[in-house]
Amino acid sequence: MPTTTLPLILAGAAGKMGREIATLVRADAALELVAALEATGSAALGKPLVDVEHRAGPPVVTALADWALEAMPAGAVVIDFSSPKGLGALAEKFLAVRPLPLVTGTTGLGPDEERLLAELAERSAVLHSPNMSLGVAATRAAAALLARALGPGFDVEIAEIHHTAKKDAPSGTALALARSVLEARGEVSAPVFDRTTRGRPRERGGVGVVALRGGAVVGEHTVYFLGEDERIDLTHRAVSRRVFARGALRAASWLAGRAPGRYSMDDVLRG
């Protein structure tokens, strides 16, 4: 049995990802869930947190506005899968009361949330990733390697598929893959999202990104490297949200005790 446990605070605790994480934490003696947070008005408030295996247990779900941040134990790490608005409120509370290490997988962030994360990173360790899968981190590295190796003679296009309930499109993961390719090739252009109004053949360089939505697809991303006489398809498929929960917990364990600054899943992958 471990002599110490890592205290975890879960924001967006009653959501799909929060419940996945709660299930894994309850099965790991090295981890302890010390607080579960939700937005004001959530039906889960005031009740024991229910995980994906329908087990109800501590802690009781608390509204972020009512959360006693100052009472959290030393060494606690926050894992956030809430919303851009929720993440912004969380960061503002940290900056006003007490910064804690933060792992967040919340996507669709705007300039205000990005600014708050940058400010928070000056005082605590912050890891933001649109996809917590270690496989996706490896896929990004592989995409960059291929982009450098194949050069400008190959066109690059990215297609992603997600379930019908996903709000942002294209996904943050698809955008991160596009950035990896563009940076590897030394390009400063933005991804191309819509070719319907261009009325011309595809130009050299750049990366096209398309988003598909339907069914219950957890997440699928393919990077196509398209040459004159050959093609390479680099695909990552997530078959369960649990892969993101495992990655978030690994990131939290890795982030504990780190110096203030911005970190990524690439850092976790490197160990």
- The residues assigned a catalytic role are 162, 166
Phi first, then psi, for residue 238 (nearest 5°) are -100, 125
Give the neighbor-by-neighbor strand order of the sheet with 56-63.
Answer: 48-50, 56-63, 31-38, 6-11, 77-80, 102-104, 125-128, 261-263
Beta strand pairing status for 207-213 and 219-226?
A: unpaired
Looking up tokens 């360089």, which residue turns up? 205
Nearest partner of 28 among 55, 52, 6, judged by Cα: 6
